Amino acid sequence: MGYEAVLFDLDGTLVDSLDDIAAACNFARSRRGLLPQPRETLRSFVGDGARWLVARSFGLRADEPKDSEALDDAMRDFREFYRAHPADHAVVAPGAAAMLTQLAPLPMAVVTNKSRALAVALLEATALLAHFRVVRGGGDGALKPAPDLLVSAMAAMGVSPSRTVMVGDGHQDLDAGRAAGCVTVAVRGGFGSDASLEACAPDFTLARLAELPALLRL
């Protein structure tokens, strides 16, 4: 198959941003006299957007009205810290920069549950932004696993879903890709567990991002 475009998740796929996310979350916890949570605990909370991340850290629910006031308050501190420190410890995934250069003949987009402004800040800080024609994030539509952000990105690039690849490290990415009609590619070693990726039955599974050009025959 000749592919027309590639969509990428950001956190855990292109960039390991967990230390910065954890620092922001633990800053919000410290403001309330709570002990910091371990990195690996917070890893399990990532994937559904910042509001669900913070809610889980505080034992709240983002869809529970009675929790909204406390969650709004915690989110203010999380955002304050993260906006000031979006990429202090961020590390580009091994081989990602070279892989993106190799895929340059294809239009590419980032589709993330992170806010678009923070996604752009992270991509700029890691020198990856220039590779992407489109960035879609929180505020641009319903978050993954809904397909809205993917559909919006594909429309902006003028490409067809059946010839577009969605690459991600979490079940949200793969479920969104399938719902949007894309070819789905799981990448191990990110924030999602291997078991959760396998449960999604992706079209392809890679051990490393560097394997993607060969898969796409580029």
What does the angle CA 52 – CA 58 – CA 62 come to, to the nearest 5 degrees? 30
> Can 9 be counted among the known catalytic residues?
yes
Note the pLDDT tens digit of each residue in 139-197.
999 999 999 999 999 999 999 999 999 999 999 999 999 999 999 999 999 999 999 99
pTM: 0.95
Separation between Cα atoms, residue 16 and residue 84, nearest integer Å = 18
pLDDT of residue 210: 95
Catalytic option among 9, 11, 77, 169: 9
The tokens describing 126, both together, are 């890691």
Mean of the per-residue pLDDT values for the chain? 97
Name the CATH superfamily, with its identifier, for domain 5-16+90-216: HAD superfamily/HAD-like (3.40.50.1000)
The domain limits of the chain are: 5-16+90-216, 18-84
Q: What is the DSSP letter of 103?
A: T
Q: Is the pLDDT of residue 218 over 80?
A: no
pLDDT digits (tens, 9 = 90+) for 50-73: 999 999 999 999 999 999 999 999
